[in-house]
Structure formats: C-alpha cells, structure tokens
Amino acid sequence: MSLIPKSHPRVKSLLIRKKLVDGFDNGLVAKEGLLAQGRGEAFDYLLGEKTGKTAKSAIKAAAAQLLLAKMPIISINGNVAALCPKQIILLSKQTKAKLEVNLFYANEKRKTAIIKTLKENGAKEILGTNKKSSTKLLGIDSARRIVDKNGIFAADVVVVPLEDGDRTIALKKAGKKIITFDLNPLSRTSQTANITIVDNITRAIDLLTIESKKLSKKNPKYLKKIVDDFNNKKNLNENVIQIKNNLSRRAKFA
Ligand code: ATP
Ligand code: MG
C-alpha cells in the first residue's frame, strides 16, 4: 500500500497516466501519444501539478473567446479521447462548439475507436468522419492537412488541445483563432496559439466549461474586453518564471 494520500497530485498524475495506457490498449492512443503524455507530465511536475493563476486567466479568456465565436470547433485526438471524453463533450455542449476528430498520425482503425468512445460518452454529431467533406489546409504535408469542410476549415475559433506545432501554425495561417491546452509553455503550439491554457487538460477542462457557463450571461462588449486584455506571450512568460521559481525552491540540495 502506498503511503501517499489519494488526493496527492502525484497519485492523481499516476491515475491520468493509467487513462492513457488504457487508451493505448483500447486502440485510441498512438505510441507517439504516450510520448507526448510523458513530455506533458514532465512540465506538469515542474509546474507543481496544479492549476495556477496564469492558467486561470487563460481559461477566462478562452471562455470569452468561445462565446464570441461564430463557429467554434474542438479538435479531438486520441489522447484527448482517452483522457477526458465526457468533459470535452460537456464543453462542446456548453459553448455550442462542434467536435471534429483530427489525428496527427492518421489511422482509420484508431479513428473508429475514438468516434465510438465519443458516442458512448454522449456526442451526437462528430465531424472529420466523412471523406466526401474533407479538404486540405495549406502549409503542411499531405496526411496531416486533411480537415472537414464543414468543421475546422469553416470555423473561426478552433480549440486544439495537445496539438502538434506544425498543425497549429497551419491553422493560424488559415486565419483561425487558436485556443490550446498545453503543459509546455515553450512548445510551438503554445507559442503560436492566441490563448494557451498551460495546465493538464484533465484539470482545466471542467474549469473552462464552468467559466463558459458563468460568462454566457455577459454581453459581447464585456467578453471582447476580456479577450483584448489577455496577453498570451506575457502569460506564457509567467509560466516559465513559475517553473524557474519551483526549480530553485526545490533544488535545495545544490
Ligand atoms: P510542438 O509540436 O508544439 O512544438 P512537441 O512536438 O514538443 O510540441 P507534441 O507531441 O507535438 O509536442 O504535442 C503535444 C503537447 O501536449 C506537448 O507540448 C505536451 O507537453 C502536451 N501535453 C501532453 N499531455 C498533456 C496533458 N495531459 N495536458 C496538457 N498538455 C499535455
Ligand atoms: Mg510536435
């Protein structure tokens, strides 16, 4: 029996890791997805495994941006489907954002498993499943540029959690406003997005849904001010300072 209490962030991290491993065993997660999780865990550890002030302000800006969107969409990959399928669907319902399955490592079998999981968790419409409505983004190689004409391609605001930098850059070039969840404040996705929530998606996603509900009563002018006042670069920089501070506080053996 472990001596660490169940509520300890370390134990929670191990439970999150188990979701990914189960997702891999169930055909949702690619091998590369396990490695991405490992990178995320390292940053989560350095950030103190909790939702910080910077994440909270990014969540508020993201909620306002989603409520202002004409056509918001959430891009789902294997890791997201394995980690928080129920929560992502709740967010989509609260913000009226569509869902699109969009895989970095395209694989029909995995896509089918992800769609099945989303449906089991209450998703009604899932885009990215019909080859006839697929189209291409400019600026990235063939397998990764496929998107749905009625989904990401047409959207004005795109939530791309745990996304690769190449695709985020291509989406930005296509004129989309990008919201991401990414534990690494230095990744290309974090640096390219308009709003980066530097937190574990499993902790932050419900907070975004709650904030979206709270702000849904506010008028567009109020929401726009929240978005305009948010400075992503400054926020990312504060995350890096936080990591530095945590490191110097903990590395007392030096
Ligand atoms: P980039 O391509 O943006 O430069 P990368 O190549 O380092 O980043 P990818 O594997 O392409 O990394 O993207 C996955 C990102 O998701 C990583 O930055 C990783 O830290 C982050 N990540 C992994 N797991 C989680 C999680 N549970 N919550 C939030 N972020 C996560
Ligand atoms: Mg990458």
Q: How does pLDDT run across 116-141, given as a tens digit for each residue?
A: 999 999 999 999 988 888 888 887 77
pLDDT confidence of residue 253: 65
* pTM value surpassing 0.75: yes
Q: Ligand 1 mean position to 1 CA, how many Å?
A: 32
Q: Which atom of ligand 1 is nearest to 202's Cα?
A: 27
Q: Ligand 1 mean position to 36 CA, how many Å?
A: 5
Residue among 184, 237, 230 at smallest CA distance from 58: 230
**Ligand nearest, relative to CA of residue 188:** 1
Lowest mean pLDDT across 8-12, 141-145, 230-234:
141-145
Q: Which atom of ligand 1 is nearest to 35's Cα?
A: 10
* Residue 233 banded pLDDT, cuts 50, 70, 90: very high
**Ligand nearest, relative to CA of residue 199:** 1
Q: What is the dihedral of CA 75, 81, 86, 90, to 10 degrees?
A: -10
pLDDT confidence of residue 215: 98
**Mind giving me the DSSP string for 121-133?**
TT----BS--GGG
| pLDDT at position 2 over 70 | no
Residues 153 and 74: their CA atoms lie apart, in Å, by: 12
Q: Whose CA is nearest to atom 22 of ligand 1?
A: 40
Beta bridge partners of 179: 159, 195
* Assigned token pair, 66: 């989603």
CA angle 173–175–179, rounded 5-degree value: 95
Beta bridge partners of 146: 136
Q: Which atom of ligand 1 is nearest to 33's Cα?
A: 10
Ligand 1 neighbours, Cβ below 6 Å, are 36-37, 39-40, 43, 83, 162, 164-165, 181-184, 187-189, 200-202
Q: Whose CA is nearest to atom 16 of ligand 1?
A: 162
Q: Which atom of ligand 1 is nearest to 190's Cα?
A: 3
Lowest mean pLDDT across 50-59, 146-155, 194-203, 222-231:
146-155
pLDDT in tens, 26-65: 999 999 999 999 999 999 999 999 999 999 999 999 999 9
Q: Whose CA is nearest to atom 8 of ligand 1?
A: 187
Domains of the chain: 53-244 (3.40.50.12640)
